[in-house]
Structure 1
Amino acid sequence: MRTEIIHEKQDLTYLSWSLIRSSSGTAGSFLKATSHLGDRKIYYKLSNYDSVNGIVGHECVNEIIADRLLTVLGIEHLHYQLIHADIQVNEQIIETYLCASEDFKQRGEDKVALDVYYELEHKPGETPLAFCIRNGWADHIYKMLVADFLLLNRDRHGANMEVLRNSRRKTIRLAPIFDHGLSLLFNCHDEASVSAFDVMQDRPIQCFVGSRSAQDNLGLIPANAMPRINRLNAQDRAIIMEGLDSILPQLWLDKIWEMIEGRWRYYEDFCNQRRA
C-alpha cells in the first residue's frame, strides 16, 4: 500500500464512517473507517467534516506532507497514503481526498494509549516525560518533540501516542509517531488566513509529555541527547510537495514550505546554541 498518492478516483462508498469529535476544539468532526485487505487492517480518515458544508479541511494532505518530511529526516513514523475517492456519509456521495494507513501492531501485540498506560504504571510524582525516559523511550520522545515543533502539531494528546505490548514475548515499545493532521495550516480555509498566518508564531498546543508550547518543548531535550536526524535541504521541497499541486492551492503549498523551512532554521540555530 506504499503508493503515496492515488490520483485516480476510487469508489470507497462501501466504507462505514464513525464520528470522532476533534480533541483540540476545532469546529466540525473527524470521521474514521476501517477495512481488511487479506490479513491487513487498513485505517481510513477524513479531513475535517461539516454536516452542512461537507469536507472543509485539508488535514489528510498534512498527513502526507508530515510523512514525507519525517522520511527525509529519518524519523520513524507511520506511513500514510492519500487517496482520491468517492465516499458516502449520511447518504450523501462526497468526492474528496482521504488518508489510509496500515495497522502498526505486530502479530501478538496489543495497544494502549500512553496516557492510560502512564496512569497504571507511573511512580508517585513521576511526570509523563520522566516516565517515558525511565522506560527507555527518550530518543523516540525527543524526535517526536522536534517533529511536532517543525510541523506545529497542536494535538499530541495522550491517546495520539500508543504503547504496544506483547505479553507472550514480554516486549513493550512505543508505536511509530502518527497523527499529524492538526498541524501546519490546518485551520486556514481561505487565502486571507493563509497570507496572514505567522509561520513562526508559537501557538498553544496539546502535548501529553510536555508543555503547551512546541518551542519550549525543544528545551526539554538535554543538550547531550539531541536526536540524530538528517538535515533538511532546499531540494527536499520537491520531494515533500510532489503531486500535491493538483490537490492543494499553490498559496497553501508555498506557505507550508515557508513554515517548515523557517522552523527548521530555528531548530538548527537552537542546536548550535546548545553546542556552544
Structure 2
Amino acid sequence: MERIIIPLETVPIISTSSKGDQSKWQVDNKWIKQNTRGYEGQAEVLASLILSCSTLTEREYVKYHLCEILLPNGETSLGCYSYDFREKLQEVTLERLFEANFSSTDSILNNTALSTEEKFEQLLRQVELYTGINVREELVRMLAFDALILNEDRHTNNILFLYNPMQKSWRLAPIFDNGLSFLSDEKDYPQGKPLTILKRKVKAKPLNSNFSKQLALYKGPAFINKTKLLRALETIDIDFGRAQQVLLSQLNDPSFAHLFYEGRVAND
C-alpha cells in the first residue's frame, strides 16, 4: 500500500458530506481522503474497480487507490487518493448551478406532489437550459450505479459539472466520491449485523430515499461486465472486507440483472 506524507504546510480541506466532515488534502495533483467513519477508502476503490469493468471510459469515472496517510502530527491513518480530474476547468456542483441562475433544487426535490421520474425530468430540463447539454443517459446510469453500491451520499453537491471559460462549454464531471457506499459507515452500520437488515436502512439521494425508485429510471443497455468484474475480484491484491460481501450480495439481487452483461463486449 502506498504511503502518502502530508506536508506540514498543507492545509486540510474539510469536506462536508451528509454524514459530517471528512478531512482531505491536495498534494500536487493528488487528492487524499482520510477514513473517518469506517472503510470509506475501500468503498471508493471497489466502486472504481466496478466501473473499470464497465463500458464507461476512463474519462467518465475517477479511479481511487488505497493509501496510508502520514499526518503532519506524526499519526497515521488509512484512506485513499485520486488524481485531480479538473484540469483547468471550473467546477460547478448541481446545487451551485441552480443558485447561479437564481434558483434552487429544493423546489423540485422537496415537492412531494412530483414522482421520482417527474423530479428527474424537471431537473434535467433546467440543467439543459443552464448548460446547453443533455446528460440524461449519464445521470440515470449514475443513479443506477448508486443503487448497486448503496451510495447514500449522492446529494446535489456530489453531482458536478465542469465549465471551460475559454470555449464557454460545459460537460458532466466523472463519477466521483463514492466513499459512503457498501455500508462503509461502521458507526451507522455496525460490523456483525446481518447484511439484509443493514441494507434496508440505507437511504438514497437525491430524487428519492428509495434506491429502487431511482434504479427504475435506468432503461438503457447493460454496462457492467460481470465476468470481468468477478475475475478482477479474484485476482486483485486488496482485502475489501465487508464491502466485497455487500457487492456479492447485490450481484445476486435480480433487480440489478439488467445492469450486467457477460462475455467480452456488451450485448454479446
Q: Provide the residue aligned with 1:239 in structure 2.
A: 232
Q: Provide the residue aligned with 1:3 in structure 2.
A: none
- Using CA pairs below 8 Å that are at least 6 residues apart, which structure has the higher relative contact order? 2
Contact 2:5-2:69 within 8 A present in 1 as well: yes
Q: For 2:86, what is the secondary structure of its paired residue?
A: coil
Shift of 1:270: 8.5
Contact 2:67-2:80 within 8 A present in 1 as well: yes
User: Residues 54-111 of structure 1: CA distance to partner in whole angstroms, max 9, x if unpaired?
Assistant: xx511011000000001112232111121123223xx3x332322111221233x211
Q: For 1:156, what is the secondary structure of its paired residue?
A: coil
Check if 1:105 corresponds to 2:86.
yes
Aligned AA (1:103) = D
Contact 1:113-1:158 within 8 A present in 2 as well: yes
Aligned AA (1:120) = A
Percentage of identical aligned residues: 22
Q: Provide the residue aligned with 2:31 in structure 1.
A: 43
C-alpha separation in 2, matches of 1:114 and 1:57: 27
User: Residues 126-164 of structure 1: CA distance to partner in whole angstroms, max 9, x if unpaired?
Assistant: 732443466310111011011101101001011111111
Measured at CA, do residues 130 and 33 of structure 1 come closer, stay the same or move farther in structure 2, by a change above 3 Å?
Answer: same
Q: Provide the residue aligned with 1:83 in structure 2.
A: 67
Contact 1:152-1:184 within 8 A present in 2 as well: yes
Shift of 1:196: 1.2
C-alpha separation in 1, matches of 2:221 and 2:125: 17
C-alpha separation in 2, matches of 1:43 and 1:192: 28
Q: For 2:225, what is the secondary structure of its paired residue?
A: coil
Measured at CA, do residues 206 and 257 of structure 1 come closer, stay the same or move farther in structure 2, by a change above 3 Å?
Answer: closer
Q: For 2:203, what is the secondary structure of its paired residue?
A: coil
C-alpha separation in 2, matches of 1:161 and 1:64: 19
Q: Provide the residue aligned with 2:75 in structure 1.
A: 94
Aligned AA (2:248) = E
User: Residue 26 of structure 2 is aligned with which of 34, 57, 64?
Assistant: 34
Q: Provide the residue aligned with 1:115 in structure 2.
A: 95
User: Residue 20 of structure 1 is aligned with which of 15, 18, 36?
Assistant: 15
C-alpha separation in 2, matches of 1:194 and 1:258: 17
Runs (5+) with no aligned partner, structure 2: 109-120, 261-268
Aligned AA (1:114) = L
Q: For 1:217, what is the secondary structure of its paired residue?
A: helix
C-alpha separation in 2, matches of 1:200 and 1:180: 16
Q: Provide the residue aligned with 1:261 in structure 2.
A: 251
Measured at CA, do residues 269 and 201 of structure 1 come closer, stay the same or move farther in structure 2, by a change above 3 Å?
Answer: farther
Aligned AA (2:179) = G
Shift of 1:8: 4.9
Measured at CA, do residues 182 and 8 of structure 1 come closer, stay the same or move farther in structure 2, by a change above 3 Å?
Answer: closer
C-alpha separation in 1, matches of 2:165 and 2:222: 31
Q: For 1:243, what is the secondary structure of its paired residue?
A: coil
Check if 1:73 corresponds to 2:63.
no
C-alpha separation in 1, matches of 2:257 and 2:189: 30
User: Residue 62 of structure 1 is aligned with which of 43, 55, 58?
Assistant: 43
Measured at CA, do residues 145 and 10 of structure 1 come closer, stay the same or move farther in structure 2, by a change above 3 Å?
Answer: closer
Contact 2:34-2:41 within 8 A present in 1 as well: yes
Shift of 1:206: 2.3
Aligned AA (1:18) = I
Shift of 1:12: 3.6
CA RMSD, aligned part only?
Answer: 3.1
Measured at CA, do residues 175 and 184 of structure 1 come closer, stay the same or move farther in structure 2, by a change above 3 Å?
Answer: same
User: Residues 31-67 of structure 1: CA distance to partner in whole angstroms, max 9, x if unpaired?
Assistant: 011121xxxx22111111xxxxxxx511011000000
Contact 1:137-1:174 within 8 A present in 2 as well: yes
Q: For 1:34, what is the secondary structure of its paired residue?
A: strand
Runs (5+) with no aligned partner, structure 1: 1-6, 49-55, 272-276
Aligned AA (1:128) = L
Shift of 1:197: 2.0
User: Residue 136 of structure 2 is aligned with which of 138, 149, 163?
Assistant: 138
Contact 1:139-1:227 within 8 A present in 2 as well: no
User: May I ask how many residue pairs the two structures share in their alignment?
Assistant: 236
Q: Provide the residue aligned with 1:212 in structure 2.
A: 209
Shift of 1:189: 6.0
